[in-house]
Structure formats: C-alpha cells, structure tokens
Amino acid sequence: MKIEMRKLFAFGLILALLAAAPWLLGPFPLGILMKILIWGLFAMSFDLIFGYTGLLSLGHSVYFGLGAYGAALMILHGQPGIAAPLATGLLLGAAVAALIGLLAVRTGSHGFIIVTAVTSLLFYLLAQSRRDLTGGDDGLTLSPLPLKLAGWSAGCADPGPAYLLVLGVVGISFLLLYILVRTPLGLALRCVRENEPRAQALGYDTIRLKWLAFALSGGGAAMAGALYALTNCHISTGLFHWLVSADALIWTLFGGTGTLIGPLLGTGVFFALREGLSGVWQTGYPILVGLALLLMARFFPRGLLGLVSELGRFSRRWVR
Amino acid sequence: MMSEILRARGLVKRFDSVRAVDGVDLALFSGEIRALIGPNGAGKTTLISLLAGQLRPDAGSIAFASQDVTRWPAHRRAQLGLARTFQIAALFPSLTVREHLEAALQASPSHRPPETSEVLKLCHLKDKQDARAGELSHGDQRLLELAMALVQHPKLLLLDEPAAGLSSTESEMLIQLLSGLRGPAVLIVEHDMQVVFRLAERITVMHRGRILAEGSPPEIERDPQVQEVYLGGS
Amino acid sequence: MEQVLFQLLNGFVWGWALALIALGLNLVYGVLRIINVAHGAFYMLGAVAGWAILGQLRAISDLYLLNFALALLVAPLLVGLLGMLLEWTILRPREDKPVLTIIATFALLLILQQGVQLLLPGAQRVVPPIAGGMEIFGLRYPIYRLVLAGLSMGFMLVLWLLLYKTRFGMWARAVHQDRELALAIGLPVPWIYGLVFGLGVALAAAAGVLTAPIVPVEASMGMIILIEAFMVVIVGGLGNLPGAIIAALLFRLAEGFFTVWMEPITARALALLFMGALLFLKPQGLFGTHED
C-alpha cells in the first residue's frame, strides 16, 4: 500500500478548511455542512458494497436507522453522553448487518438487491410496531448534545461544537475506509465486483469477502446514523424506509461510484441543490431526480468524477 | 517414479439428459505436460470445470495433492495449488495488469518470493503493466490469464485452449513459455495439433464424454479409433 | 374461530392479488434479467387508470358492472402499452449493464409516482362492482373479494395460455432458457423484450384495478407491495412462475393467521420474518433452479 504525498496534502488541506468552517459560516449553512458530512459517510459506506464490491443494496437505511435508534435509545434509557451512544449505534448496526449479510450474500447478485430491499421493509414495519420504543412516524425528540467548548454550546438549530465532533468522526472514518480499499482486501473486493467466478478460481472465498464488505459497510452506515441521532434532535421510523437507501444510491451515482470522494461530492451537490431550489423542490424534486438519474445511467455512468476526469483529459489534449 | 498429483475416478456430469462427462478416469503426475484433445462437444471443458471445481460431478471422485476434493468449492482447490485458465479470457476488465498479478499472488498460499516481474517478462507484458485488462488485445489477454496462473506457483495447471485465437507468432511464444515451465503438472486442452504435438508428453483423447485413448503422441497418431473419430466424421 | 376464518380468507384473497403482481415481476426478470423496481408504480398506475376510466364512463353508462369490466380490460392494456414504450426508449439502451437498467427502473418509479402525486389530489375510493356478502361456514364475507381472487386466477390462466399456447409464448420461454441461443436462431429478441415487459406491467396494472375497490387509490400505494412482491419472487425462486404463486399465498396466509393475534403491522413483519426463515433454509428459493 502506498499513500501519495500529494493526496495526503490535499486531504489535510480540505480537513483544515472544514475545521475552520464554524468561524467562517453562520449556524444555518454550518448545519447543512454537518448534514452533508453525516449523509456523506452514509453514502461512502454504501459505496463500499456498491461501487467496490458490485452489490446493489437497497437495505442500507436499516443500518442507518439502527445506528440512529441505537444511539437515541442509549441516550434516553441508558447512558447519555457521546461515546456510549455512538458505540451502541455502531455495534447494533454492524451486528445486524453481519447477521443479515449471512443470508443476503448467498442469494446471488439479483437476490441481494431483493433481500436487502425486503430487510428495509421488515425493519420499517418492526419499528412501526414498537411505537412505544421508536415513536413511530412521529419519532423521538432528543435534547441537543451536552457539548460545551469554551462557552460555545450545541443547540437544535445551531450545531456549534457538535459540528467538530461530526467532522472528527467522519474524517477518521474516511481515513479508515481509504486505507481499507487500498489493502489487499480492497483489491480482492474489486476482483469480486469485476468477475466473481474468476475470483473464486484464483482462490478467493468470494462469499466471505462479500459478507465482510457488507458487515463493514453496514457498520459505516450505522456510524452515520448514530451521528445523525446525536446531532439532529429528532429521529423517526422513516429513516428505515428503503427510499433512504435509494438516496445513498442516487448521491453515489452522481458523485462517482467506486470511489470515496464521489459519494461525498454527490451528497454535497445534492444538499446544495436542495437548498438552492427549495421552491421547485417541494413538488418536483423526485421527478427532477428521476430524470437526472435516467440521464446519468444513460450517458455518465461514472458520475461527476468521471465527467471531471473526461474533461481533464479533453482539456489537456487541447492545451498541448 | 513420478508422484501422482491428481486422480479422478468415474466422473459423471449430466446436463438435463445429456451426459457431458460419462465415467472418466484420469491420473496426472507431477511435472508432466498432458494434452486433452477430442472433437467439439467431447466434454473437455466440462471435465476441466469438474476438476477445478466450477462444476460438481453427479458421480465419481477427485483426489488432488492426496486430498479428496470432490466436494470442495473452487476457491479451496485453488488454495491447495490448482490453477486454471478459461477458454474465453476471464479477467477483471477495469483492473490493470499489475493488479491482476497482485490479486493472483495474494490469493495463493504460495510462500515462494513473488516473481511478478519475471512472470511479466516471461509473458511479454512488462511494458503493459499499467494497462487495464479490458484494453488489452486478445492475445495479451490470453497471456495475462496464463501469467495469473503462473505467479501462483500451482501444483497443477489446467489450460483451456490457451492458443485459441492467437496469431502464429503469439502461439509460438506460448509454446516456448509452456515448454520452459519447470514444476507444475499441466493439463492442456487444445485444438491446434501443432501445439499439442510439440508440447505434450502424453495425450488423452476424449469422445462423447468418455476417454477414448491415452498414450504418447506417436501412439495416438497411429490409434485407429482416434483416426476414426477425427477423420471418419462422427 | 370466525376471526381466524375471516383473516385466512383475507389472506387467500390478497395472496392471489399479490401473486398476480409477483408473476409480472418474475416474468420480466425471467426474460429480461432485470429487477423492475418500478413494478409497484405500474400497479399503482393500473389502479389510478381504472379509477379514471370509471370516472369517464360514469357520464356515458349506468351499468357499473360493465364499466368496471371495461376498466379492467382497458387499464392494463394502456399501462402495458406505456410499459412497452418505456422499455423501448429508456430501458433498452442499458441492456448490457443490468445494474444501470435497474437504476433506470428506479428513476421511472420516482417520475411515475411523483407525477401521479401531482395530478391526483389525495386518496381516491373505487366502488366495488359487486356489493353484498355470502355465507361461508356461518361467516358473512364480501362477495367481491372472492370474485377478485377468481379474476386473478383468470388473468393467470390467460398468462398461461399466452406462454404455452402461442408462438410469442414459445419465443419468450426460449429467451428465458437461453438468450444467446434465441438470438442465434434468429428470434426477434428486442421485440420479445418489449412485449414481455409490457405484459409483465399489465399484470401489475390488472392487479391494481382488481384491488382498487378494497384499498385507497393513491400515488404511494405501490411502495410496500413492491417489496412484498420482491420477497414472494425470491422465496418462490427467481424466474419460477408457479413458485411465485405458492409463495404469495403462503405469505398472505401467514400474515392473515398472525393478524388474528396481533396488530396488522406486527403480523406483516412476522410474516416477512417467516418468509426470510424459509429463504435462509433455501437461499435459491423453494423451487429455485436459477443461479445468476
């Protein structure tokens, strides 16, 4: 594994810029930036199974939802704070993903789509049927994070220091994922994506590899969910709906599959657009997204990053 | 006395009602190069897939490296030292040549030091190691298939028509490469008799799912049954 | 006891309706090898088209039964034609990349559902064409629901005749068995794709019209039933048509049975878990022969 200095430098620069955001932005844009980071982590985790391993999961909402509810229930009924709820959410999501993965990866690539979609309905219904715990459609209301930094505190409308917590966790998760996809495991996963029977013939236990990728990916989604619960003051069973999983697909596809920056970028662009077009957004949002998706699938299956690299190649040819 | 590396007994594979492989016994010895020939539809590729584990036999047993591997999935057989190539080049299209070899290397349990660059040179892929497999020419793809198998240092190498679609210079390269191999037993399915007679020490002939004949190249050439199958038009 | 009978009858009726939806989904999968995520939206379109056609016919004719029969024929036809059109224009170019085609069907779902959401204000009701109930073991049960199950079976019979007694059916089965071979012997595979897709979504639309009198007709009505059809299709065995019917009945009967003792939503979750357990025992489906 080799990490290029140039990339390390770029990562540090972006991290520093993001860390300076609280002093540059007002509470409202800061809140949006925080949401982009959280949902970006969700999309990156999704891309570990979709872009790197080649399996389309419509069930990642389950792990986001479990992460969120695991953390929230820990705050409400167990031990409040930060570390305990985060750990609870992460472990709950990763454990359930490991369990469901046992079945999902054994049903073939089309079966995988179906099984994961069904799990999102299952957990949605289960969450609805335990209204006493989950609050159903109305959800649960949580108090802001008890985080104070030199008189600076987190509220429901102003993320404050909670933003830095999110940035830290997402940054570390990004680094871990970045390292993961560059280890032998990452290469093995890409082999599974490209040609599973060939990978088997080389000696890879592809079922185990897919299972591992799914469990890790579920863990990442759960981490994002736990961060969401910690910072959002409100969560509901709607988080389990399979359309939430589909959001990760949309963002990832737009940004560029098979990368980590792509999903993050896609999420950012989408949240920015949603703020900018909020008027049209109310009624037309799904239609616009649908049309855009059709165009992407038809003309730019590699997403924005693919487009950027195409443009780069094009311009370099013209400069010479 | 050479040691036995693979022994198949009474292998049967049916597709619907067709017996693609119908009671095949086969023994391979370490270090030998064996050719498997026969008319189209004789069951050669099916036999290879049974040996490598892509297919499960309906009857019979397979022992490899003194283990009964009949029920083993393909990846466990590969880890024990069985490598194969595919009739239609089966690669990872968006991965580079170098990544293919890394992937092959890390999947095999071989403790020998990596010889990736030697294999690359051997297969004439040295200057293409950053190219994606999907962008390679047909011939280079076949060579990459072989290179992946070679870096794994297998005990047994199953080659399914490695020369198919190669130009004459490319297949000459392939013959040089294979005849220079020291170590693995090789079972090579091939239609090009030129290649077969120059490489193989022994030849096994399959016809309609069964073993028709086995022997040295001159013996096979003289065998009336083989002549019947190839010349008589079945 | 009456409660048990009532719930099992409901399960039976809904089982046939779900089977009809799942058959369409499975047919499309079997021949085109794509999972049509928009399938639930076509079910919804069928119900909405049925509602709209009934509204138009009211001005012309008072014979509601006849109007309903007409809607039941015309709505699936229209939806089927739309499906063919969409398959030709939007899904066709991405045949080579199954995942992109599946994503395109998801895009269709968003467009169709939100489009209807904008045009259709709120949930609508459709009056059943046959009123009244009948006695079954001392329980009074709405006649229309039994008719619904019967009509679903009727549509399945038509499907069976199409698949096994016509040249089109023979071709479709040939593509299902071996696409390369079908292409090699010169079958018009692109046409078969379009027709099968149209037929598949028409079945969902037929189920939409049939169930319109017993559920609220609204844009989001296909969301949950889509996933249930997914479950049915995979437990029955991907591409296996009779398997889907059996799995649909099994699922709905289990759900009905659980509903006797618990809240409907919990019963449905439990029925899904039950199906999941079956799948765990047989990951290729109860009658699955396909590995993809």
Q: Is the pLDDT of residue B51 over 50?
A: yes
pLDDT value of position A237? 94
**Amino acid letter at B113?**
P
- Give the confidence band of B108 by pLDDT, cuts at 50, 70, 90: confident
Q: Tell me what the mean pLDDT of segment C30-58 comes to.
A: 94
- At residue B129, φ and ψ (nearest 5 deg) are -70, -15
On the 0-12 / 13-18 / 19+ scale of CB atoms within 10 A, A301 is middle
More confident residue, C60 or A95: A95
Any chain A CB within 8 A of the CB of B99?
Answer: yes
**Host H or E run for residue B19:** strand B18-29
pLDDT value of position C292? 42
Q: Tell me what the mean pLDDT of segment A224-243 comes to.
A: 93
How wide is the angle at C-alpha A95 spanned by C-alphas A39 and C279, nearest 5°? 105
pLDDT value of position A158? 79
Residue B108: closest C-alpha in chain A = A203
Mean pLDDT of chain B: 87
Asked if A289's CB is within 8 angstroms of C110's CB, the reply is: yes
Asked if A113's CB is within 8 angstroms of C273's CB, the reply is: no
Asked if A195's CB is within 8 angstroms of B148's CB, the reply is: no
pLDDT value of position B16? 80
More confident residue, C121 or A2: C121
Residue A187: closest C-alpha in chain B = B103
Q: Tell me what the mean pLDDT of segment C194-203 comes to.
A: 96
Hey, of C31, C35, C95, C96, which one would you mutate to test binding to chain A, going by the most A CBs within 10 A of its CB? C35
Mean pLDDT of chain C: 91
Please, which residues bridge with residue A74 across strands?
Answer: none
Tokens 């259709």 locate to C120
Among A289-298, B109-118, C254-263, which is the least confidently predicted range? B109-118
Chain B positions touching A188 (Cβ under 8 A) are 103, 106-107
**Amino acid letter at B32?**
E
More confident residue, B164 or C260: C260
* Complex confidence, ipTM: 0.89
Q: Is the pLDDT of residue C252 over 90?
A: yes
CB C125 within 8 A of CB C50: no
Asked if C234's CB is within 8 angstroms of A115's CB, the reply is: yes
3-state SS string over chain A? Answer: CCCCHHHHHHHHHHHHHHHHHHHHCCHHHHHHHHHHHHHHHHHHHHHHHHHHCCCCCCCHHHHHHHHHHHHHHHHHHCCCCCHHHHHHHHHHHHHHHHHHHHHHCCCHHHHHHHHHHHHHHHHHHHHHHCHHHHCCCCCEECCCCCCEECCEECCCCCCCHHHHHHHHHHHHHHHHHHHHHHCHHHHHHHHHHHCHHHHHHHCCCHHHHHHHHHHHHHHHHHHHHHHHHHHHCEECHHHHCHHHHHHHHHHHHHHCCCCCHHHHHHHHHHHHHHHHCHHHHHHHHHHHHHHHHHHHHHHCCCHHHHHHHHHHHHHHHHHC
How many other β-carbons are positioned within 10 Å of the β-carbon of residue A153?
15
- The SS3 assignment for B24 reads strand
pLDDT value of position A117? 94
pLDDT value of position A93? 97
In angstroms, rounded to a whole number, what is the distance separating the alpha carbons of residues B33 and C226?
56
pLDDT value of position B111? 62
Q: Is the pLDDT of residue B114 over 70?
A: no
CB C5 within 8 A of CB C137: yes
Asked if A206's CB is within 8 angstroms of B78's CB, the reply is: no
Among A50-54, B174-178, C8-12, C223-227, which is the least confidently predicted range? B174-178
Q: Is the pLDDT of residue B116 over 80?
A: no
Q: Is the pLDDT of residue C248 over 70?
A: yes
- Give the confidence band of B234 by pLDDT, cuts at 50, 70, 90: very low
Q: Tell me what the mean pLDDT of segment B189-199 comes to.
A: 87
**Host H or E run for residue B79:** helix B74-79
Tokens 């919990």 locate to C266
Give me the DSSP letters along C159-217.
Answer: HHHHHHHSHHHHHHHHHHH-HHHHHHTT--HHHHHHHHHHHHHHHHHHHHHHHGGGS-B
Q: What is the pLDDT of residues A173-232, one digit of tens each?
A: 999 999 999 999 999 999 999 999 999 999 999 999 999 999 999 999 999 999 999 999
Q: How is chain B split among helix, strand and coil, in percent rounded to 5?
A: 35, 25, 35
Q: Is the pLDDT of residue C120 over 70?
A: yes
More confident residue, A238 or A275: A238
How far off is chain C from A278, nearest CA to CA, in Å?
Answer: 16
pLDDT value of position C283? 83
pLDDT value of position A281? 62
CB B74 within 8 A of CB B85: no
pLDDT value of position B121? 75
Distance of CA B196 to the CA centre of its chain: 13
Mean pLDDT of chain A: 90
Q: What residues of chain B, 107 to 136, have a C-beta less than 8 Å from chain A?
A: 107-109
Residue B92: closest C-alpha in chain A = A194
Q: What percent of chain C has pLDDT over 90?
A: 69
Residue C237: closest C-alpha in chain A = A111
The pTM assigned to this predicted structure is: 0.91
How far off is chain A from B224, nearest CA to CA, in Å?
Answer: 37
pLDDT value of position C291? 44
CB C246 within 8 A of CB C203: no
In angstroms, rounded to a whole number, what is the distance separating the alpha carbons of residues C191 and C187?
9
In angstroms, rounded to a whole number, what is the distance separating the alpha carbons of residues C213 and B89?
56
More confident residue, A26 or C209: C209
Asked if A202's CB is within 8 angstroms of B73's CB, the reply is: no
Indicate contact of A with B: 3+ CB pairs under 8 A: yes
